[in-house]
Amino acid sequence: MTTSSKNKAEVPAGSGGNDTGKVASVGKGRWFIYIVIFLAAMMQLVRIYQVRSKNGDVPFHSANDRSRWCTIESLATTGGYEIDHLLFTDETQGKRTPWASIDMVRHRGRDGMLHYYSSKPPLLPTLYAGVYWCLKKVTGMDLIRDTFDVARIMLVLVNWIPLLIFWIFWLRSFAGDGQSSWSALVLSILLGFGTFLSTFASTLNNHLPAAIAVGISVWCLNKILVTGDARLRWFALAGLCTSFGAANELPALSWVAAAGAMLLIVAPLKFVLGYLPALLPVLISFFGFNYLAHDELSPAYAHRDVGKELFSVDIQAGTNHLSTGSLIGMMRANGIECSANCSVREARRPRTYELLDNENQRQFALRLSADETKLTAYEWGDWYDYPKSYWLPGKKQGVDKGEPDRGTYIFHCLIGHHGIFSLTPFWLISLFGLAYVFHERSSINFFRDHRWMLCLAIFVTSVVVIGFYLSRSLEDRNYGGVTSGFRWTFWMIPLWLWLARAALANIESAFWRRFTELLVLLSIFSASYPWANPWTTPWPMQLAEHWGWIRPS
């Protein structure tokens, strides 16, 4: 990968310098760039129009997006977050509807009764419910009656249009920023066809809006740190976007911190006046809607074990202290109201039991000590544990069981069947861009051009986030479930695209250009393979299963 000494001296990659030859060449090729984006946009419209479940009865791909659709319909219809009415067509026979999802929790509602709720943070579905409510008022269409029409229009409004704006926004902002017509065209092809953001445009998900928000924040940081446009508005917009990204992807809090640290260093006053206050609207909305939904500030996915300890009693090993009568007496003896209509069942956690007061609809967790000489009562805190829950022992299937060997998990997350670099090998170019900027840091104004700082922030954020997921316990080592890529890292795609720009602007050798184009084609194949449904296993995993290298999931 080579670059001429003249270009090095005059225009560092991504510096926004005045290399008129390069900018002119981009101008001549601009129509090709827009044609690429137009074709990509039309393909996504076709994809959205074709969206439907395996059975063809609803336009939902998986339990993941059904969970959000349930919240949207419930909010617009009943004004509440309870989704019970969508889960069963006939409760006496227990028949599940096409709306049923495994991504749900159960807990006591404000009416004192047990209800089912989506396990997804309610901020995004609440915003989408507002879009649906407006659509319903304007057109008269109903999500239950006109499911396909409403879902397709909604996907266009909340996925397709924001993605298209993001594509155009990035290309207009960065295409002429020291880029040749070749590098700008490569970037546009990759944006339109080669990332998993387009793959997930046909399903409701949190990854796409998080990535778009992070992408806008990168643009703001580029203006402040690289081009020197440090107006207060960019600090505020960066704060709003980084916080919205984190609201949809919790590990993106690392990007909130990294962006804040950079802005604090370069402009402390504007950081305090612009960036920090802009974090508050999303922060308040995130916890506010969560409280409205669950009467709790902590998200539903945080409730996966016993709750607050109530009391503890010594028992004699080998005796039966789990009979309903004994437990009712024990609860009452410790000052806890409990009716005579109770039932006991084994919970999903070891040596843990659920005591359900059927009359008052209250739940308690009872846990035996390892030597069975102590019984401790807790408030019920495992919202994923309920009868027929998918998350009970023996119910989970395939990758949801978790990868037992951590080394195997790390391999497949990086370069294996769910690999960041194996599915999207173009990210190797991003690594080159990272290395190039640090190599060239001595030739730029260290105090005025802060590309090195942005590169460092992206590198540290990537290592922290990927390391976080690779270090998870067995229960969470599931590659993101049945999905076509390692989806927990999709929100970082704009960060890696920013690094790739530095590399693309400095690839002039014919050999390395052809190599880059090959990486783009391979990335396009991975992103396009799950055309009908993004919630399917990646093509390398399907191929390995077909050849018998790994056991089918």
- Write the pLDDT tens digit of every residue in 79-124: 999 999 888 654 444 455 788 899 999 999 999 999 999 999 999 9
* The token pair that represents 138 in the structure block: 């304007």
75 and 217 assigned to the same domain: no
Can you give the pLDDT at residue 7?
A: 39
What is the Cα–Cα distance from 163 to 195, expressed in whole angstroms?
12
In a domain, 362, yes or no: yes
143 and 241 assigned to the same domain: no
Number of structural domains found in the chain: 3
**Which residue would you say has higher pLDDT here, 57 or 254?**
254
38 and 71 assigned to the same domain: no
Summarize the confidence of residues 453-463 as an average pLDDT. 95
288 phi and psi angles, rounded to 5 deg: -65, -50
511 and 430 assigned to the same domain: yes
Instruction: Indicate the residue among 102, 137, 154 that finishes a domain.
Output: 154
88 and 142 assigned to the same domain: yes
Query: Are 189 and 36 within 8 A, CB to CB?
Result: yes
Query: Are 340 and 324 within 8 A, CB to CB?
Result: no
432 and 539 assigned to the same domain: yes
Instruction: Indicate the residue among 379, 414, 444 that finishes a domain.
Output: 379
Can you give the pLDDT at residue 178?
A: 63
**Pick from 422, 413, 432: nearest CA to 527:** 422
264 and 324 assigned to the same domain: no
Summarize the confidence of residues 524-534 as an average pLDDT. 95
Across-strand partners of 376? Answer: 312, 367
Can you give the pLDDT at residue 95?
A: 54
* The token pair that represents 418 in the structure block: 């769910």
Can you give the pLDDT at residue 242?
A: 98
* The token pair that represents 146 in the structure block: 């006109």
78 and 32 assigned to the same domain: no
Q: Could you tell me the pLDDT band of residue 19, with boundaries at 50, 70 and 90?
A: very low
Q: Could you tell me the pLDDT band of residue 22, with boundaries at 50, 70 and 90?
A: very low
Query: Which residue range(s) make up the domain with 79?
Result: 63-154
40 and 85 assigned to the same domain: no
In a domain, 468, yes or no: yes
In a domain, 52, yes or no: no
What is the Cα–Cα distance from 457 to 290, expressed in whole angstroms?
30
Q: Does the pLDDT of residue 275 top 80, yes or no? A: yes
Summarize the confidence of residues 146-163 as an average pLDDT. 97
Can you give the pLDDT at residue 31?
A: 78
Q: Could you tell me the pLDDT band of residue 18, with boundaries at 50, 70 and 90?
A: very low
Query: Are 224 and 260 within 8 A, CB to CB?
Result: no
126 and 169 assigned to the same domain: no
In a domain, 329, yes or no: yes
What is the Cα–Cα distance from 60 to 343, expressed in whole angstroms?
36
What is the pLDDT of the chain when averaged over all its residues?
89
Can you give the pLDDT at residue 538?
A: 96
Can you give the pLDDT at residue 170?
A: 86
Across-strand partners of 362? Answer: 357
Candidate from 113-127, 147-161, 393-407 with smallest mean pLDDT: 393-407
As a whole-number percent, the residues of the chain with pLDDT over 90 amount to 72
Candidate from 134-148, 245-259, 320-334 with smallest mean pLDDT: 320-334
Can you give the pLDDT at residue 489?
A: 97
How far are the Cα atoms of 311, 327, 339, 355, 366 from residue 321, in angstroms, in the given order?
A: 15, 7, 18, 12, 11
Q: Could you tell me the pLDDT band of residue 550, with boundaries at 50, 70 and 90?
A: confident
Summarize the confidence of residues 350-376 as an average pLDDT. 92
Summarize the confidence of residues 494-515 as an average pLDDT. 92
Q: Does the pLDDT of residue 235 top 70, yes or no? A: yes
Can you give the pLDDT at residue 440?
A: 72
- pTM for the complete prediction? 0.90
**Which residue would you say has higher pLDDT here, 6 or 216?**
216
519 and 480 assigned to the same domain: yes
Give exposure, 256-277, as e/b (b: 16+ Cβ within 10 Å). bbbbbebbeebbeebbeebbbe
In a domain, 51, yes or no: no
In a domain, 384, yes or no: no
182 and 231 assigned to the same domain: yes
CATH for 355: 3.30.160
Instruction: Indicate the residue among 132, 154, 176 that finishes a domain.
Output: 154
Q: Does the pLDDT of residue 1 top 70, yes or no? A: no
Across-strand partners of 115? Answer: 107
Half-sphere exposure of 162 (CA within 13 A, CB side): 20
Radius of gyration of the chain (CA): 26
In a domain, 56, yes or no: no
Can you give the pLDDT at residue 12?
A: 39
Can you give the pLDDT at residue 54?
A: 85
**Which residue would you say has higher pLDDT here, 97 or 16?**
97
**Which residue would you say has higher pLDDT here, 22 or 402?**
402
What is the Cα–Cα distance from 158 to 211, expressed in whole angstroms?
13
Q: Does the pLDDT of residue 295 top 90, yes or no? A: yes
Q: Does the pLDDT of residue 444 top 70, yes or no? A: no
In a domain, 211, yes or no: yes
Query: Are 418 and 541 within 8 A, CB to CB?
Result: yes
Can you give the pLDDT at residue 257?
A: 97
Can you give the pLDDT at residue 188?
A: 92
Candidate from 81-90, 130-139, 231-240 with smallest mean pLDDT: 81-90
**Pick from 27, 22, 26, 2: nearest CA to 10:** 22
Q: Could you tell me the pLDDT band of residue 469, with boundaries at 50, 70 and 90?
A: very high
Summarize the confidence of residues 349-361 as an average pLDDT. 93
Can you give the pLDDT at residue 20?
A: 39
Summarize the confidence of residues 328-355 as an average pLDDT. 92
* The token pair that represents 150 in the structure block: 């409403």
Place of tokens 């969470």: 476
Summarize the confidence of residues 450-458 as an average pLDDT. 91
Q: What letter represents residue 551's amino acid? A: R
